[in-house]
Structure 1
Amino acid sequence: MIDPNDIPSSTIERVAMMEGILIASATGGSPDNHIYEQLRREFMTDPQIRDMLPPFVRSYRNLNAFWPFIKHEASSYAERRQIISGAFTPLMDQLEGVNSAPGDKVASEALQTFDLDGVHAVWDKAIARRNTDPEGAITVARTLLETVIKRILDEQGETYSDKDDLPKLYSKAAKVLNLAPNQHSEDAIKAILGGAMNLVNGIGTLRNRLSDSHGRGGRAPVRPSPRHASLAVNTAGAIATFLVETHQERS
């Protein structure tokens, strides 16, 4: 039995402890149901962790409820260990930085200072889904840009319509922030700002064609891979950071 006072302070160690409790429960039984419940409650309130928890953790509040599931999934201890460890791998990789991108930290810091509960929460969700749910990640990448842009337009006193698509919203924000290509005369600056606008348009197109936001017809619809999701999320994060930093500097 685990002493509650021995629960580690770091998130990755706590996740590893939960994995160990579930494996013990699946291979002979565990006396640590109270610890499992405590860790689960903690993780379910953290958006970045919750979305990457194994589905059976999100579904089963205690070990008694988990036992019939794992018993039905596999008969041998080895298979049960493999199922549980495999389900925790994406989350452990994320916490260990295996799937992190170079710009994650910069974007996280900028978006956190801008809006911790709104914009930053969307960014956390995009990162969490980038490698495990490519379609969902692409959808959230667009949501991130829309959320940032609308927040900036609100603070600038600019109006917009719910019918405005992402390129139109970005054009309005770019004009307000003096980021529209036609507001500059230097060719290099115009090229960079024009490239940013093209990237925003590209994210909208990628989302419409590859995300889970629309039903797709045809016998063999194209499904996005983690690299497509990384492209969308990383690009959205970079542009969102650029917009936030520009807005904060001008304010």
Structure 2
Amino acid sequence: MNGLEHLENQLDKIEYLQNLLVARATGGDADDGHYQIIRQQILTSPVVSEMMPRWLKTNRNLSQFWEFIKAKYPSYAERRRFIWDAFNPILEFVESGLEHPAKKTIDEVLSNFDSESIHFAWAKALERRVSDPEGAITISRSMLESVCKHILDDKRVSYNSSSIELSELYKLTAKELNLAPEQHTEQVFKQILGGCSGIVNGLGTLRNKLGDAHGQGKLPVKPQARHAELAVNLAGSMALFLISTYSSTKI
């Protein structure tokens, strides 16, 4: 028990962090242990972390923050206003429940796709990006595999489901959807579609290197939340592209 059990969600934590900073900046009592715990938790959230001010990332404890704030502003009023102005857009963002536009679009498309398991995998990958980066990487790759298999099954294209690699699955799917680079003559399309193939191959490699699908040696490479964020977003974008293309061929 660390005395933070009353903080039930992200909004509570951000508001509490703001209050700790205001208290320290204006001569009040502020728990440095709480500050360090909450600060670390918030900075592991990829979206919110991007919005946090630089000075919060560099001041790892309240003593460091005190040295920073007392040199920056002489009065309590100025310090309060500085902290409130820094936190206000973050609090508004979290209160509104906003999401990255790409995430929302992918979520909508996958939820309307025929296979419930694919949307479930997407939801699990999003959920585990921070708490379990390795699992999120594995799930995102599996989700993309499922999208390819679903499309190939619907088109009655045979493949070895027990041993085929993601890169081969994508190659078959791309060919069926006229997305293979060699099926186009315009250089710009060949380049873009070749890039898509590279992304899929990279996802397979990332999963093999960093995901939890394979055992690792004495010095394992541990993925961070940013690696999982990259893998999940890339897999989601490619799944969206494949499903949108597939759906357009059925109209």
What TM-score, normalized by structure 1, do the two folds share? Answer: 0.62
CA distance in 1, matches of 2:131, 2:6: 22
Relative to structure 1, is the Cα distance of residues 123 and 194 closer, same or farther in structure 2, using a 3 angstrom cutoff? same
Which residue of 1 is the match for residue 133 of structure 2? Answer: 134
CA distance in 1, matches of 2:212, 2:100: 23
Which 4+ stretches in 1 moved above 6 angstroms?
A: 88-91
**What whole-Å deviation, never above 9, does each CA across 1:85-143 have from its counterpart, x for those lacking one?**
99x9789x7x9488954410111111111136221111101111112211111001101
1:143 aligned to 2:159? no
**Residue 198 of structure 2 corresponds to residue 198 of structure 1:** yes
Tell me what 1:212 maps to: 212
Q: Indicate if the aligned counterparts of 1:145 and 1:240 stay in contact, CA closer than 8 A.
A: yes
RMSD of aligned residue pairs (Cα, Å): 3.4
Residue 173 (structure 1) aligns with? 173
1:228-247 equivalences under 5 Å are: 228-247=227-246
Gaps of 5+ in 2: 8-30, 49-92
Q: Describe the shift of the 1:215–1:98 C-alpha distance in structure 2 as closer, same or farther (beyond 3 A).
A: farther
The correspondence of residues 15-54 of structure 1 with structure 2, limited to 5 A, is 23=6
Greater shift, 108-117 or 191-200, is seen at 108-117
Deviation at 1:188, TM superposition (A): 0.6
**Could you tell me the TM-score, scaled by structure 2's length?**
0.62
Q: Quick one: structure 1 residues 196 and 222, their matched pair in 2 at CA, closer, same or farther if it must change by over 3 Å?
A: same
- CA deviation digits over 1:55-104, x for unaligned, max 9? xxxxxxxxxxxxxxxxxxxxxxx9xx99xx99x9789x7x9488954410
Task: Name the larger-Rg structure.
Answer: 2
Structure 1 letter corresponding to 2:183? Q
Show structure 1 runs of 5+ residues with no match: 1-21, 25-77
* 8 Å CA contact 1:101, 1:234 repeated in 2: no
Provide the secondary structure at the position in 1 that maps to 2:116. coil
Measure how far apart 1:173 and its partner are: 0.2
Q: Secondary structure of the equivalent of 2:248? A: helix
Q: Which deviations, in whole Å up to 9, do the C-alpha atoms of 1:200-233 show, x marking residues without a partner?
A: 0000000001011111012x21111111111110
CA contact (8 A) 1:99 1:131 kept: no
Q: Which amino acid aligns with 1:104?
A: K
Q: CA offsets per residue over residues 32-64 of structure 1, 9 Å max, x none? A: xxxxxxxxxxxxxxxxxxxxxxxxxxxxxxxxx
Task: Give the alignment of 1:53-68 within 5 angstroms.
Answer: none
